[in-house]
């Protein structure tokens, strides 16, 4: 099997939860670049940000994305991964289905509110998230083959929607 889809979107959009479900429904592998970075660095994302800095995290992330996209199944990219132009170019060049999981601050807030493993949102998570989304939305939309709103829908319903889109396009 090759890559069946790539999930992009901001923190709290449900990439990890939905990605794992899509993979399960398709009987495919699932890779999450944050987990891959953590395994390869033997540290949590937060520890990498604190001990090594964001720039170093972004290098590890770009390398992890390359590895993940050489694999198979469903791949969820960390929220900021596609802001690296080389990563965005790689995603574009592969011409695979890219799903942008869109979400409002109202739905994202409860998911990200108390999660200490999101170092970029430390301080004022709400304002940080809104600012990230404002900067990134155009890139997410530009790369997306299709956009799925995750507001007020269960992960199962979102995953079923994505599986339908993938099967419909195949």
- Residues of this chain that interact with ligand S3P (CB under 6 A) are 11, 15, 34, 45, 78-80, 118-120, 132
Query: Would you put residue 30 in left (φ > 0), alpha (ψ -120 to 50) or beta?
Result: beta
CB of 45 to ligand S3P, least distance (A): 5
For ligand S3P, give the closer residue by CB, 34 or 161: 34
CB of 146 to ligand S3P, least distance (A): 19
For ligand S3P, give the closer residue by CB, 115 or 156: 115
Minimal CB distance residue for ligand S3P: 80
CB of 140 to ligand S3P, least distance (A): 11
For ligand S3P, give the closer residue by CB, 77 or 166: 77
Query: How many residues does the structure list for the chain?
Result: 170
């Amino acid at each position: 099997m090759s890559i069946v889809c790539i999930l992009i979107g901001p923190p709290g959009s449900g990439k990890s939860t939905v990605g794992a479900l899509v993979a399960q429904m398709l009987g495919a592998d699932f890779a999450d670049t944050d987990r891959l970075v953590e395994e390869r660095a033997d540290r949590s994302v937060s520890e990498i940000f604190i001990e090594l800095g964001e720039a170093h995290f972004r290098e590890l992330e770009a390398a992890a994305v390359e590895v993940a996209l050489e694999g198979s199944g469903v791949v969820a990219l960390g929220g900021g991964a596609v802001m690296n132009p080389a990563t965005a170019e790689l995603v574009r060049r592969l011409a695979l289905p890219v799903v942008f999981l869109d979400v409002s601050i109202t739905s994202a807030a409860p998911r990200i509110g108390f999660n200490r493993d999101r170092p970029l949102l430390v301080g004022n998570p709400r304002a940080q998230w809104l600012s990230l989304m404002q900067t990134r939305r155009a890139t997410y939309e530009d790369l997306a083959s299709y956009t799925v709103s995750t507001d007020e829908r269960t992960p199962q319903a979102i995953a079923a929607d994505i599986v339908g889109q993938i099967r419909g396009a195949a």
